[in-house]
Amino acid sequence: MDDAGVNHHTYDAKTGGQYRITRIGATLGRLEAYAEATQFVRSFEPRAVEKACKIAGLGLENPPGLGDHWYPPYSHLSAPYEGRKRNLYTLLTEGQRVKLLKRVCTGASDIKGPERGCGFDINSFNNEETQKEVLGFFALHNKPLMAALEKRWMPLDWPWKLPLDDIADYFGEELGMYFGFLGHISSWTLTFAPCALAAQALAIYGHLNPLNSVTGGGKHEALYVEAWFALIGGAVYALCIDSWRCEQAKLAHTWNTYGCTTKLPPRPGFNGVVLKNPTTGALEIDFPPHLRAPRARKSVLVSLTMLVVLLGCVVSLFAYKAILASDPDTPSWVLMVPSFLNAVQVTVFSTVYKKIAHILTNFENHKTVVEHNSALFTKLTLFYFVNNYATLFFSQ
């Protein structure tokens, strides 16, 4: 941490000396130097850019008659940070400071200059082996800013009135996008709620009064209301997701997150090779696709093998329960054995495959944390779905 220019202070926690806490921080100058060295994208200050343009004899104007379809001139402009033009950029937000400090902590420690980091592998802190030494790594709250955000966010209000800009400034753009999506889908759900209540009331009325149902037929025709609502609800959900794409693009533009994943520093543990960038001609450390492809194929083969073994266990439990249920003399407590075995299967396979997925993802040698986490998420999603939700298909 000293070599990376990071300030740190270690002291005993209030647990009798069983644990120790290390507070890590960096000066604003160190964060700005790292931002410039890693080409961290920052927003321009609209007034400063307007003043600079007027000095240079330039100007920006929106076409007349378009109203709110265009952003105000000089707003939402950004570029990689340059220290010699510091006055053109906005101040670092709390979320950007935390993001830069985290990148300094996780950056490569085997290089010199402002790009040097501490080399902490934060993802390994969740492993059982390292938990004995490091229990966690997290950002501390800025109490005054947190209190101000709480006043704007916590009062009960409609979901489309969330202070997304303030949330993104404090917690970062990732959580800003998360709460933006929650607010968007909640707004659509509230709008569609009266239709859902009406459909449910008609369905209940049809079931309770089959001869007086909406269609005037039998009891089964009351299901028509639910079927139509399912179709309409699916269409509304599709429109909701499609409109979120537009809202997401708007937020990505205003928060300057386009292309941010391509500028991330290499993650700790990445073992790349020196290559020449075909566009710029500069030497870069990367892991080319023809070297990763064999590893990816082996990873897929292991994952599919585990999935086949899991499906075999699930089918065996189905068959075992069917055999027990077919015998009328089977005691009732024996019929609970397949459910107990299924609980054991869920626990064992989840624990085993989680470790295997981490090993396989590390073996694939992804360059950035985003690529690494995305590959890990893809592996775990399908396996966990089959493993955890196969119980729903057990017949009673």
Q: 276 lies in a domain?
A: no
How many distinct structural domains can be found in the chain?
3
Residue 178 and residue 300 share a domain: no
End-of-domain residue from the set 106, 140, 174:
140
- What was the pLDDT predicted at 148? 93
Task: Break the chain down into helix, strand, coil percent, rounded to 5.
Answer: 60, 5, 30
- What was the pLDDT predicted at 214? 47
- What was the pLDDT predicted at 326? 81
Q: Mind listing the pLDDT tens digit for each residue in 207-253?
A: 666 555 444 444 566 677 778 888 888 898 999 999 999 999 889 88
SS3 204: helix
Residue 90 and residue 119 share a domain: yes
Q: Mind listing the pLDDT tens digit for each residue in 317-342?
A: 888 888 887 888 778 777 788 878 88
Residue 159 and residue 104 share a domain: no
**pTM, whole model, 2 decimals?**
0.72
Q: Mind listing the pLDDT tens digit for each residue in 30-85?
A: 999 999 988 888 889 999 998 988 888 888 887 776 666 678 888 888 888 998 99
- What was the pLDDT predicted at 241? 92
Q: 36 lies in a domain?
A: yes
Percent of the chain past pLDDT 70, that is, above it, reads 89
Q: Mind listing the pLDDT tens digit for each residue in 250-307?
A: 898 888 887 666 667 777 778 877 777 777 777 777 788 888 889 999 999 999 999 9
Phi then psi for residue 381, to 5 deg, are -60, -55
End-of-domain residue from the set 215, 248, 263:
263
- What was the pLDDT predicted at 285? 75
End-of-domain residue from the set 248, 263, 278:
263
What is the residue-wise DSSP string for 253-304?
HHTT-TTGGGGPPPPTT---EEEE-TTT--EEEE--HHHHHHHHHHHHHHHH
CB 121 within 8 A of CB 268: yes
Residue 315 and residue 238 share a domain: no
Q: 226 lies in a domain?
A: yes
Residue 112's domain comprises 7-140
